[in-house]
Amino acid sequence: MNIGFIGLGVMGRPMALRLIDAGHQLTGCVNVSDIDPDLLAAGLRVKEHPAAVAARSEIVITMLPDTPAVERVLLGPDGVLAGIHGGSLIIDMSSISPEATRRFAHRAFEAGCEYLDAPVSGGEAGAEQGSLSIMIGGDDASVQRALPLFEVLGRNIVHVGDIGSGQTCKIANQIVVGLTIEAVAEALVFAARAGADPARVREALLGGFAASKVLETHGERMLQRNFEPGFRSDLHRKDLNLALDAARTLGIALPNTASTLQLFNALAAEPDGGSLDHSALVKVLESLASTRLDG
């Protein structure tokens, strides 16, 4: 397929490489994100703006950091909808507002296009390995059209419901992951402060009911102090803000989401804190306890 892929950052770059390796022709956009030389060597074509990308693509995928970025790329003067052909499919794989997603989809429908929201979970490693979890909102026909691409990118592919449902699911995912990162950090800092070896505590917990992917992967990052971003903390902070915005609209309380967001806010206040991996949340708990996991 001729695919436009806009947003070639930490997640988008390996996703695009997998699609190229699967035999698809990809076109990127030079004024949205830097283009990795490996992508150019693999055969990525580039255009100056999203409209030009859309003009040569039957499917356009966006993988962008936040709602305003998606709005600019889709609806801006040189945006996707300014160049796209009727009958094309837009797949937004960013993590953004469900309400805005429905608005963007409506504009796409007015232009005679199809639209899916399909945010992902699994981080950079999942993008590289093609093992992402993909949460999809949209109609059945569009999902079937996109399925060959989703199968290149992910393993757990779930059609959640109508437009916006994928984004709602991703927010739920980010609540679980964020609160679990906080719980793992809190437990390991507690263990260190109490005089136990946090590495051995983690090893013991992995064999019991407390075992989780977060304890396995992010717990190890915390112990090794490896905070190179697989998923940046400022993006997780953005997602928890989306959760609380939606909760206000729904009239419900998310008390532990709110408290975890405040810890991410504290991390963001540190120099370069927002650019660290979200497992760096442990640094805030260490500060509160005057205890580091590495002694």
Domain boundaries, the chain: 2-163, 168-289
Separation between Cα atoms, residue 272 and residue 263, nearest integer Å: 15
Q: Tell whether pTM > 0.75.
A: yes
Closest CA to 174 of 285, 260, 294, 112: 260
What's the confidence (pLDDT) of residue 236? Answer: 96
What's the confidence (pLDDT) of residue 286? Answer: 98
Site of tokens 């102090």: 225
Separation between Cα atoms, residue 182 and residue 240, nearest integer Å: 13
Site of tokens 């992402």: 132
Residues annotated as catalytic are 170
Separation between Cα atoms, residue 253 and residue 266, nearest integer Å: 21
- Residues 128-131: contacts with CB under 8 Å, at least 24 apart: 128/14, 128/18, 130/18, 130/154, 130/155, 131/155
Angle (CA) 258-273-210 rounded to 5° is: 55
What's the confidence (pLDDT) of residue 135? Answer: 98
What's the confidence (pLDDT) of residue 30? Answer: 79
Cβ-contact 19, 44 below 8 angstroms: no
Closest CA to 51 of 31, 25, 24: 31
Provide the CATH number for the domain formed by 2-163 in this structure: 3.40.50.720
What's the confidence (pLDDT) of residue 33? Answer: 72
| N-terminal to C-terminal alpha carbon distance within the chain | 53
Separation between Cα atoms, residue 103 and residue 277, nearest integer Å: 31
> If the chain, 295 residues long, is cut into consecutive pieces of 10 residues, what is the mean pLDDT of each piece?
93 95 93 82 93 96 96 96 96 96 97 97 92 97 97 97 97 97 98 97 97 96 95 94 95 98 97 96 98 92
Which residues fall within 8 angstroms of residue 126, CB to CB, at 6 or more apart?
120, 132, 133, 154
Question: Judging by beta carbons within 10 Å of its beta carbon (0-12, 13-18, 19+), is residue 37 exposed, middle or buried?
Answer: exposed
Fold classification of 168-289 is N-(1-d-carboxylethyl)-l-norvaline Dehydrogenase; domain 2 (1.10.1040)
Is the sign of the CA dihedral 189, 193, 199, 200 positive or negative? negative
